[in-house]
Amino acid sequence: MFRNYRNLWLALGVLIILSPLGLIASGTAFGEWGVDQLEEEVGFIPAGLGRMAGLWTHAPLADYGITGFNASFMQSAAGYVLSAMVGAALVAGIMTVLSKIVKD
Amino acid sequence: MHIPDGYLSPQTAVPFLAVMVPVWSVAVKKVKRKLKKREVPVLSIGAAFSFTIMMFNLPMPGGSSAHAVGAVLLAILLGPWAACLGVSVALIIQALVFGDGGILAIGANCFNMGFVMPMVGYYVYKLVKGRMIEHSGRALLAAAIAGYIGLNVAALTTALEFGFQYHLFQAADGTPLYFMYPVKVAVGAMMSEHLLLAGPVEGLVTALGLRFVKTTYPNLLSEGKHDINYSNHSEVANHV
């Protein structure tokens, strides 16, 4: 798993370390505004949207960061790298287990 | 391009979930039949790569942001159905663990980025590459074009899903219930960002990724990979 594709794992690791570059773009993507931003961006909160927006509040690393640990760029960057590590590990792990189930 | 909960009506979000169930089931069958055991780690790394590349937000003029997805690179390396599973797993983790993209919207998000994008990208790649070998410059150009078009078609389906909410779901007083801009506005905003900036980046990521994989692991991609006895003995041993 790790030995046969060492260079691919290394490349993934480099991407994870560089991930805070993604924080430079601080703006929210089109159509992804949070309820708190809608008032400012759109001027009102559509009724149905307001009802459904809080459907999932259990994301442990919401917005790819540690809650309350975003006072500086360094803190946000640390949370971001941690999120990238956790996310990449989870995705690779689940994909491996899934493939094993499918292939065996 | 990660649609949050509330931007799509349940009447839209739930059917997309229903559409993805048979899509995922076909993807599982295709992967079971076609993905080689030695390619399994590549799919795992590829899915994690897709997850990570989506974190690289690109600043857009006007203060917005967009990002590449990596789905077309996975489709070229492992086939569109393997890419579908890999990107879907990445998107589901993003929704559950990082609150990026909605829960009810998982179907629509997986449809756009995990199904439309790798499928379109894969066939554009095949079409442009023609009979040229994977190691040709033409193949790299094909990969770049495929990444560009794949991401943009995904952005277009997302914009249409957004925009039709405005036309179809309004309160009695005429205010929109879910997504709040008409199709024209949604398509204009999404497409200008993706055609001009995120698309070229996706093309670059796809071509450079393909080049990196085929220079470091040439056997993984060679046209005749079904017949070739790759030289890595540990892998051969794994097979026996």
**Residue B75 maps to a domain:** yes
B58–A contact, CB cutoff 8 A: yes
Half-sphere exposure of B226 (CA within 13 A, CB side): 2
Q: Which domain holds residue B137?
A: 10-222
For the segment B220-233, the average pLDDT, to the nearest whole number, is 46
Q: Give the per-residue pLDDT at B225.
A: 41
Token pair of A74 as six digits: 């360094």
Inter-chain residue contact A12 with B52, CB threshold 8 Å = yes
Helix (H/G/I), strand (E/B), else coil: B32: helix
Reported ipTM: the value is 0.96
Measured CA distances, B181 to A42, A43, B167 (Å): 9, 12, 9
Considering only residues 11 to 70 of chain A, which have any Cβ-Cβ distance to chain B shorter than 8 Å? Answer: 11-12, 15-16, 19, 21-32, 34-35, 42, 44, 46-56, 58-64
**Residue B2 maps to a domain:** no
Q: How far is CA B35 from the centre of its chain?
A: 18
- Binning pLDDT at 50, 70 and 90, where does residue B203 land? very high
Q: Give the per-residue pLDDT at B108.
A: 98
**Residue B47 maps to a domain:** yes
**Residue B229 maps to a domain:** no
Inter-chain residue contact A56 with B100, CB threshold 8 Å = no
Q: Nearest CA to CA, how far is A73 from chain B (Å)?
A: 15
CATH number of the domain enclosing B122: 1.10.1760.20
Nearest chain B residue (CA) to A1: B41
**For residue range B128-158, what is the model confidence (pLDDT) as tens digits?**
999 887 778 999 999 999 999 999 999 999 9
**For residue range A31-42, what is the model confidence (pLDDT) as tens digits?**
999 998 999 888
Q: Nearest CA to CA, how far is A78 from chain B (Å)?
A: 14
**Residue B5 maps to a domain:** no
How many domains is chain B built from?
1
- Binning pLDDT at 50, 70 and 90, where does residue B62 land? confident
Check: CB of residue B183 under 8 Å from CB of residue B167: yes
Inter-chain residue contact B217 with A96, CB threshold 8 Å = no
**Residue B207 maps to a domain:** yes
Q: How far is residue B193's CA from residue B195's CA, in Å, rounded to a whole number?
A: 6
Inter-chain residue contact B52 with A60, CB threshold 8 Å = no
For the segment B84-107, the average pLDDT, to the nearest whole number, is 98
Q: Quick one: which of B208, B222, B159, B201 has its CA closest to B58? A: B201
For the cut 90, the answer to whether the pLDDT of residue B226 exceeds it is no
Counting as low any pLDDT under 70, the low residues of chain A are 1
B64–A contact, CB cutoff 8 A: yes
**Residue B189 maps to a domain:** yes
Measured CA distances, A56 to A37, B21, B99, B200 (Å): 18, 21, 7, 33
